[in-house]
Amino acid sequence: MKFTPVLRAEALKVLTLRSLCGILLAVFAVTTAFSALAGSTNGSEPDFDPLFTSLSGVMPGQIAAIAFGAMAVSSEYHGAGIRLSLAAVPQRGRWFAAKLTVIAAPVLAVGLVTALAALLAARARLGSSADDLTGGEQVRGVLGCGTYFMLMALFAAGLTALFRSGMATLSTLIPFILIVSFVIGDAAGGATDFLPDKAGQVVLYQTHEGILGPWAGLAVTALWAAAALLAGAWRLRSRDA
């Protein structure tokens, strides 16, 4: 079977599930709301970063992006749906590529719109505190935020294919991002720069310290996502559905 009809079928499966559409809406709503709230912060604080403050809603919003990637794949393992999918598309690599495409594209699109809305909402409240942000920095923040959301969703999708369970992915990734990453960051110094969330979020800062720059940080997150996807693809090919 050619790739285009496989892609169309996977898009229909993903985008017609109300729960998944609701998660995409949550990415937008949560990120924008928290960024707008952060806009009321005191800009005179020593560590104040206007770009990160304007996009700080990405911290809770990424949980929704992760949930989207995990649930889009885990839905295939409910009721032996994966057997039907692979019976229709015996080329497992082609099916997996189509599934990943319909995860990446909507998350990237929603992420870009969300980042722009969050930036505008926060800047409206920050006022003169954000006047030193350049146009290039804001464009970089919006593009980086959308890309970061997409990479985290793909990271979750790869782990879900590996674990064959969305619950296992969520129970691993969410505590890691919310708790373990901060603990390791306090104890391990510069090693935290290479964690998937910390590395990718460098692009959200106006100024940054550490080994990685904005785009290098996103590249590190992309490597984590690629490793998870390769592991998921290996599990899909090596185990009967």
The tokens of 173 are what?
Answer: 């990734």
By mean pLDDT, which of 17-21, 96-100, 128-132, 194-198 is the weakest? 128-132
For residue 122, give Cα distances in angstroms to 146, 166, 220: 17, 33, 28
The tokens of 219 are what?
Answer: 């590249």
Can you spell out the DSSP letters for 28-87?
Answer: HHHHHHHHHHHTTS-TTSTT--HHHHHTTTHHHHHHHHHHHHHHHHHGGGSTTHHHHHHH
- Tell whether pTM > 0.75: yes
pLDDT of residue 115: 97
Do 3 and 92 meet the contact criterion of CB atoms below 8 Å apart?
Answer: no
The label of the residue with tokens 């979750």 reads 156
Whole-number Å distance between alpha carbons of 2 and 5:
6
Residues of the chain with pLDDT > 70, as a percent, come to: 92
DSSP label at 16? T
For residue 86, pLDDT beyond 60: yes
Whole-number Å distance between alpha carbons of 220 and 199:
6
User: What's the average model confidence in pLDDT over 153-160?
Assistant: 97
By mean pLDDT, which of 24-38, 49-63, 71-85 is the weakest? 71-85
Q: What is the pLDDT of residues 223-234, one digit of tens each?
A: 999 999 999 999
pLDDT of residue 39: 79
For residue 175, pLDDT beyond 70: yes
Q: What is the pLDDT of residues 7-23, one digit of tens each?
A: 998 899 888 889 999 99
